[in-house]
Amino acid sequence: MNATREKQILVAGVGNAWMQDDAFGGEVARRLEADALPSGVRVMDVGTGGLDLAYEVMRGYDALVLVDVSRQGGAPGTLYVIEPPRDEFAGPISDGESIDPHGMDPRTVLRFVSAVGGWPGKVVVVACEPSAVDDVGLGLTPPVAAAVERAVALVRETIDELRTDAAYKV
């Protein structure tokens, strides 16, 4: 009998809690951490700690779910599920090129992880259209705050899909 190995999934909330709606990813991560999740699923609020995220991803996960804000042009509070292609982040880091460990946004984290050979099997981004991320301020704006529970449900659905072998077939 061939037992299927349990999928290892990292859910990472990304964003700066001091920049209003940029705190969305962290808020979703906190809500998920408060609930029971399936075994093999780890949730982190990485905030702006891109290097911490990169090191954690390199531990070896089948999938990474990033939760963040993303300006896609929709109304504030609109949720998106984005599966970035690996080749968008693949490629070596050129001689003389530097990556600032204090300014690693999710795209830079994925590029760094790819360059050192620690790429997770699949990356899914659950993103929310922000209203305000450019000014210092605490608290999500009403449309983004209203999207948090929907995002928690969407991340849970994504986790359920990523726990199946079908999610990894090309």
Residue 109 lies in a domain: yes
Is the pLDDT at 62 greater than 50? The verdict is yes
- Is there a domain that residue 3 lies in? no
Express each pLDDT in 69-126 by its tens digit: 888 899 999 999 988 777 766 666 665 555 555 555 566 667 666 666 666 678 888 9
Predicted pLDDT at 83? 87
Residue 4 domain-assigned?
Answer: no
CA 157, 57, 66, 63 torsion-angle sign = negative
Residue 45 in domain: yes
Backbone φ and ψ of 44, nearest 5° = -135, 140
Q: For residue 1, tell me if it sits in a domain.
A: no
- Note whether residue 79 is domain-resident: yes
| Domain CATH number, residue 150 | 3.40.50.1450
The predicted-structure confidence for 118-152, as pLDDT tens digits, reads as follows 666 788 889 999 987 777 768 889 999 999 999 99
Number of structural domains, the chain? Answer: 1
Domain that holds residue 126: 9-168
Asked whether 66 and 58 are in contact (CB, 8 A), the reply is no
DSSP string, the chain: --PPPPPPEEEEEE--TTBGGGGHHHHHHHHHHHS---TTEEEEEEET-HHHHHHHHTTT-SEEEEEEE---SS-TT-EEEE---GGGT-SPPPTT----TTS--HHHHHHHHHHTT---SEEEEEEE--S--SS-BSS--HHHHHHHHHHHHHHHHHHHHHTSGGGG--
